Amino acid sequence: MKKVVVIGGVAAGLKSAAKVRREDPEAQITVFEKGSLISYGACGMPYYVGGLVADVNEFMKTPAGAMRNPGFFKNVKDIDVRIRTLVTAIDRAAKTVTVKNLETNEETAVPYDKLVIATGASPVRPPLPGIELGGIHQFWHPDDAVAVRSGIDAGRIKSAVVIGAGLVGMEMAEAFKTRGVDVTVIEMQERVFPAFLDVEIAGSVAKYATENGIKLLLGEKVERFNGEGTVREVVTDKRVIPADIVVLSIGVRPNTELAKAAGLAIGPTGAIAVNEYMETSDPDIYAGGDCVENTNIISGKKVFAPMGSTANKHGRVIGENIGGNRVKFRGVLNTVAVKVLNLHVGKTGLTEREAKELGYQYVTAMVAGPDKPHYMPGSKPVTIKLIVEADSRKLLGAQAFGEGEVVKRIDVMAAALTMGMTIDDLFDMDLAYAPPYSSPIDNVAVAANAIMNKLEGKLKGISSLTAKEKMDEGKAIFLDVRSPEEFNQIRLANCRGVKNIPLGQLRTRLSEIGKDDEVIAFCKISLRGYEAACILEGAGFENVKVMEGGIVSWPYACEK
């Protein structure tokens, strides 16, 4: 009877344990968890704070409503889960772990045949003056969620400061905003989601957040917290912000102490090194979830990518392998999806910045369009940025945002990246088309077309960033080919050099533009901008560019 010991009672740990049980009805499976809660879906917690989820216990329930507590694991899965039990050491020679009952402080040695380390990650807590004040929360455990929500429910919280504009930070900003709390997000870097968005996309997301009532302070550094007992103010290098509550979300670090102390290999990212079977440097010890590092399958590089999805997959693979099979985990794409109010944001594969750092020769295109035919109610824009290797025409990465159906496209491109698709494959794919779901040529295929056009010199793009520089220099003609009605409704703000010639009139009004003028053509999404450029180039104009993404993707101000 195989003895399987698991350290950590959440996603990777319990998934491993559950899968071992299905593989091996005889195994003796014990899970140690130092906390008193297990098997919780932490990812849902922002929606509890935001009020969409009524009860924090939902995160520990099965879809059928059963609480996943130790009794559940015993009855359903014949797994012993010991809560409030800290594993303090691993003795690889003796094949035991030392566990400490946190109620009694008793220590015991527990033998294992196979050990699973699933200790997760812990939020970074910066050693700033005042960090010990009350009301400064990390947001990682259900207890944190309950503390934050009860404060709001009690009406005690009028203004909140979130530190860090990453996934948890922006989800919490949404939650506060939804609950009517005045919220400010402070981010040291110059953009939101600095870990996974390129500058121009991050700019659009930040614009959306700001316009919808989330205050963003980018490129700003928190220096201290003021208050007596409880936090009252956050002091940055630029200002003082009143705060009834502070949420820290500046990242997490893998919990590797046990593994390190046991002499297991730690990888270049600082997380536990595992091979493709999820084995550590000791073949009797597996590790998975937030405490291990992953391989990015595009770059081949080791990455720290602590995700609940990955943790669960690790767990299944570990369970298979402990069960006597030989199953590999291939790696990750650092795929991300996140909702910010009604904006959907996603990314898979490499960012442009990463592609550049890794030395790829690449092209990018940013393409906006409706997510389904404009005549269908609920049609909303989606902007996709593709990063493609120039020679091989292979997709390297994609980012997308918009109020439309973004994540479907991210998932399709994750599938594409998994298999090394080229842009030609992206266009060929027979994606489902019916008006409730998409346009006849899906946004992904249009984005692939734009890259093809760029590679063949048919589309000369200019990013919003470069276009803004040109605008400020005041030398280029900004050729807005929308209708006068559209132009009156909304325009690029303070656009020096703007000229509004509707596309349908362009062929007869060519004389209004000089053949040597630098022309930047655009429209709402820059489809007409592209057609305008085709017309101008066909007529011999030599210096015409299309502003990629159009007005809907413009990260700077517009005027009405």
Ligand X SMILES: Cc1cc2nc3c(=O)[nH]c(=O)nc-3n(C[C@H](O)[C@H](O)[C@H](O)COP(=O)(O)OP(=O)(O)OC[C@H]3O[C@@H](n4cnc5c(N)ncnc54)[C@H](O)[C@@H]3O)c2cc1C
Figure out which of the listed residues 46, 323, 331, 346 binds Ca ion, where binding follows CB under 5 A: 323
The H or E element containing residue 162 is: strand 159-163
Put residue 393 in one of left, alpha, beta given phi > 0 → left and psi -120 to 50 → alpha. left
Is 42 a residue that touches ligand COA (CB under 6 A)? yes
Q: Are residues 551 and 524 in contact, defined by beta-carbon separation less than 8 angstroms?
A: yes
Q: Which does 42 bind (CB under 5 to 8 A by kind): Ca ion, a copy of itself, ligand COA, none?
A: ligand COA
Is 341 a residue that touches a copy of itself (CB under 8 A)? no
Give the E-state strand segments of 350-490 in sequence order: 362-370, 381-389, 395-402, 461-462, 477-480
Is 118 a residue that touches ligand X (CB under 6 A)? yes
The Cα 558–Cα 560 span in angstroms is 7
Q: Which is nearer to Ca ion, 306 or 323 (CB)?
A: 323
Alpha-carbon separation of residue 363 from 351, 440, 486, 530 (angstroms) = 12, 25, 31, 17
Q: Per-residue x/- mask for ligand X, residues 279 to 318, rule CB under 6 A?
A: ----------xx---------------xxxx-x-------
Q: In the numeric block, which tokens belong to residue 141?
A: 């455990």
Is 444 a residue that touches ligand COA (CB under 6 A)? no
Is 87 a residue that touches a copy of itself (CB under 8 A)? no
CA triple 135-141-147, angle to 5 deg: 35
Query: Under rule CB under 6 A, how many of the chain's residues touch ligand X?
Result: 36
Q: Which does 544 bind (CB under 5 to 8 A by kind): ligand COA, a copy of itself, ligand X, none?
A: none
Is 19 a residue that touches ligand COA (CB under 6 A)? yes
Q: Which does 429 bind (CB under 5 to 8 A by kind): a copy of itself, ligand COA, Ca ion, none?
A: a copy of itself
What's the min distance (Å) between Cβ of 122 and ligand COA? 15
Q: Are residues 78 and 71 in contact, defined by beta-carbon separation less than 8 angstroms?
A: no
Q: Are residues 19 and 316 in contact, defined by beta-carbon separation less than 8 angstroms?
A: yes
Window 57-116: residues binding ligand X (CB under 6 A): 86-87
CA triple 214-205-398, angle to 5 deg: 150
CA triple 267-11-262, angle to 5 deg: 40
Is 10 a residue that touches ligand COA (CB under 6 A)? yes
Q: Per-residue x/- mask for a copy of itself, residues 220 to 249, rule CB under 8 A?
A: ------------------------------
The Cα 57–Cα 212 span in angstroms is 30
Q: Which does 70 bind (CB under 5 to 8 A by kind): Ca ion, a copy of itself, ligand X, none?
A: none
Is 69 a residue that touches ligand COA (CB under 6 A)? no
Window 493-532: residues binding a copy of itself (CB under 8 A): 503-505, 507-508, 523-525, 528, 531
Q: In the numeric block, which tokens belong to residue 359?
A: 């030395």
Q: How far apart are the first and last CA of the chain?
A: 73
What's the min distance (Å) between Cβ of 114 and ligand COA? 17
Give the E-state strand segments of 335-467 in sequence order: 336-340, 343-349, 362-370, 381-389, 395-402, 461-462
CB-based burial, 463-487: b 16+ in 10 Å, e otherwise: bbeebbebbeeeebbbbbbbbeebb
Is 421 a residue that touches a copy of itself (CB under 8 A)? yes
Q: Are residues 362 and 390 in contact, defined by beta-carbon separation less than 8 angstroms?
A: yes
For the annotated catalytic residues, the residue numbers are: 43
Q: Pick from 552, 545, 495: which is nearest to 523 by CA?
A: 552
Window 409-468: residues binding ligand X (CB under 6 A): 433-434
Q: Which is nearer to ligand X, 120 or 461 (CB)?
A: 120
Figure out which of the listed residues 157, 525, 536, 551 binds ligand COA, where binding follows CB under 6 A: 525
Contact set with Ca ion (CB under 5 A):
23, 323-324
Residues near ligand COA, by CB under 6 A: 10-11, 14-15, 18-19, 22, 39-43, 68, 308, 311-312, 316, 367-369, 440, 446, 449-450, 453, 525-527, 530
Q: Which residues bind ligand X (CB under 6 A)?
A: 7-13, 32-35, 42-43, 45-46, 86-87, 118-121, 139-140, 167-168, 255, 258, 289-290, 306-309, 311, 433-434
